[in-house]
């Protein structure tokens, strides 16, 4: 194939345009490669690794590829960043059901990151642009946590910072302020380098520009250090001794109903083992016991044999047990926590409110059934949502409940504290995700929640990792995975509220307004520039 040079009667813009060389075409791929690699770098900053600081160069590189880009390029680069981040982060979603749902989820969620990329590029030429850009990122997280299907906040930047220096900021303004500080610092690092390079090339830089660049790094770090006094594990309302039970699950060889019965039996057996150790003086007697989500998938209200197993376990240990059950009441299927007293039986219940799409209910059921009827068998019956915050009064102690998936949602944890929780429990069932990173990602969320609300957080899980987390975010005890075990510990009770608890959604609203203001300013500046040039 030969290429003919433009003829003399072609437009000047074609005659003067240089033919792209192979090297120039490769150079055009550099921003795309950097954007995707920065997304991967952000993923590596998340648990189970403790490389939280990698989030900073990840956003520095993202800022570099986006600054000054046109809208099409910024959308594409943002999408690549989202793919690089979310593809490995969410691979656990395909452990049980295959790659289809995992890839579909990532493809959709990366669209939100692409739109954020568009917004970051739009504000990248404004004064103090890292502030506007970080606010745009947080606005994207706020939207992603709400739509579609009530949102999917997994991958919030704050959830990768459980081991980082910025963690105390969770007590100031929750996950929005913590995430904003990290993203701002990352964009700020790039801006510091850019300003320094530009100053060396032009032999001078505006003082205001240099100061804004430095402050975008210094202020988040300084704010985190200043917030450290808010983090405390001191008991305010005395202490209680709590036991967390991990019964484990059968790995294979049983049909569905036998599997469910085995899980219940395993948790009852581990509780009786704890009772025997208490009687032998090997461990302290707990004030109450916490079982995980789905520890009794057999409805104890409808099945006397399941009720008897739980009742025997409660009588053996002699204290109330919070049991994770699947129950059907008035035609509604509920993921329910049941407080089971050794003398009175079931006394209090909490129904999970933030249920998981495609796991506990199937959105667009009729449409999906029309496409592929086998998809509807994944969730044969939809769970219903609870309506009340979960706080059990156990012997005068307020125990807040955020069941598994709910720990990812700010409101679902906060309102347990505002309704009197002196500690928080996050009963979970991660068994279907095998040994993937999911359980570690969720454990990190609970660590952030502990600091955010200054509460001890217990994490009872069917198959691991179960843990006890102090109000300062430190794990004091943890189990392995796929082993039966129990944890017993005296923990502090607290009733004071952090600024984050008191402010609630206000910091997030403020950041969304900042993002809107920056985007409005950038759009207005662009319109004025086009009018001035007659474009």
Enumerate the active-site residues. 293, 352, 404
Residue labelled with tokens 């994944």: 378
Helix, coil or strand: residue 136: helix
- Is residue 362 within 8 Å of 368, Cβ to Cβ? yes
CA dihedral 154, 157, 158, 163 (to 10 degrees): 110
Burial of 505 per CB tally in 10 Å (0-12, 13-18, 19+): middle
Sequence-distant (≥ 6) Cβ neighbours of residue 45 within 8 angstroms: 51, 52, 53, 54, 55, 58, 160
312: region left, alpha or beta (phi > 0 left; psi from -120 to 50 alpha): alpha
> Element (H or E) spanning 219, and its range?
helix 207-226
In sequence order, what DSSP letters do the residues of 408-444 get, joined into one string? GSHHHHHHHHHTT-SEEE--B--GGGTTSTHHHHHHH
d(CA 399, CA 170): 21
Sequence-distant (≥ 6) Cβ neighbours of residue 351 within 8 angstroms: 334, 335, 336, 384, 385, 386, 387, 388, 390
Burial of 477 per CB tally in 10 Å (0-12, 13-18, 19+): middle
d(CA 428, CA 495): 24
- Is residue 29 within 8 Å of 2, Cβ to Cβ? no
Token representation of residue 273? 């083992």
């Amino acid at each position: 194939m030969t290429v003919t040079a433009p003829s003399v009667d072609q437009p000047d813009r074609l005659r003067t345009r240089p033919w792209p060389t192979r090297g120039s075409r490769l150079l055009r791929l550099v921003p795309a490669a950097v954007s995707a690699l920065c997304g991967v770098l952000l993923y590596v900053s998340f648990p189970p690794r403790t490389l939280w600081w990698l989030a900073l160069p990840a956003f520095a590189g993202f800022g570099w590829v986006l600054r000054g880009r046109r809208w099409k390029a910024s959308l594409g680069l943002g999408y690549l960043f989202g793919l690089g981040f979310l593809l490995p982060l969410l691979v656990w979603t395909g452990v049980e059901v295959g790659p289809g749902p995992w890839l579909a989820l990532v493809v959709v969620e990366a669209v939100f990151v692409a739109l954020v990329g568009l917004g970051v590029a739009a504000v990248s030429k404004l004064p103090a642009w890292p502030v506007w850009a970080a606010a745009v990122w947080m606005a994207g997280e706020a939207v992603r946590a709400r739509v579609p299907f009530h949102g999917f906040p997994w991958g919030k930047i704050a959830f990768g910072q459980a081991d980082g220096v910025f963690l105390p900021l969770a007590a100031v303004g929750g996950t929005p302020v913590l995430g904003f500080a990290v993203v701002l610092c990352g964009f700020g690092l790039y801006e510091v380098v850019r300003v320094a390079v530009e100053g060396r090339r032009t032999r001078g830089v505006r003082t205001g520009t240099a100061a804004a660049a430095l402050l975008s790094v210094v202020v988040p770090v300084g704010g985190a250090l200043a917030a450290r006094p808010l983090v405390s594990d001191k008991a305010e309302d005395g202490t209680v001794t709590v036991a967390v039970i991990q019964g484990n699950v059968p790995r294979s060889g049983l049909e569905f109903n036998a599997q469910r019965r085995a899980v219940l039996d395993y948790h009852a057996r581990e509780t009786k083992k704890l009772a025997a150790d208490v009687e032998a003086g090997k461990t302290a007697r707990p004030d109450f016991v916490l079982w995980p989500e789905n520890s009794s998938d057999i409805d104890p209200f409808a099945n006397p044999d399941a009720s008897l197993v739980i009742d025997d376990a409660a009588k053996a240990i002699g204290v109330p047990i919070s049991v994770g059950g699947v129950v059907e009441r008035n035609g509604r299927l509920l993921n329910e926590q049941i407080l089971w007293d050794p003398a009175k039986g079931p006394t209090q219940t909490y129904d999970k409110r933030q249920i998981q799409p495609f796991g506990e209910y199937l959105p667009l059921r009729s449409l999906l059934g029309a496409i592929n009827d086998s998809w509807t068998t994944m969730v044969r019956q939809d769970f219903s949502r609870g309506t009340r915050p979960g706080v059990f009064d156990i012997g005068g102690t307020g125990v807040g409940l955020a069941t598994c998936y709910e720990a990812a949602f700010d409101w679902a944890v906060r309102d347990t504290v505002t309704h009197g929780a002196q500690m928080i429990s996050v009963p979970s069932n991660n068994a279907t995700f095998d040994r993937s990173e999911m359980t570690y990602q969720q454990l990190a969320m609970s660590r952030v929640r502990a600091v955010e609300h200054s509460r001890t957080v217990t994490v009872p899980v069917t198959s691991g990792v179960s843990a006890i987390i102090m109000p300062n975010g430190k794990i004091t005890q943890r189990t392995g995975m796929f082993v039966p075990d129990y944890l017993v510990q005296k923990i502090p009770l607290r009733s004071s509220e952090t600024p984050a608890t008191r402010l609630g959604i206000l910091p997030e609203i403020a950041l969304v307004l900042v993002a809107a203001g920056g985007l409005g300013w950038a759009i207005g500046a662009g319109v004025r520039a086009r009018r001035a040039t007659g474009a």
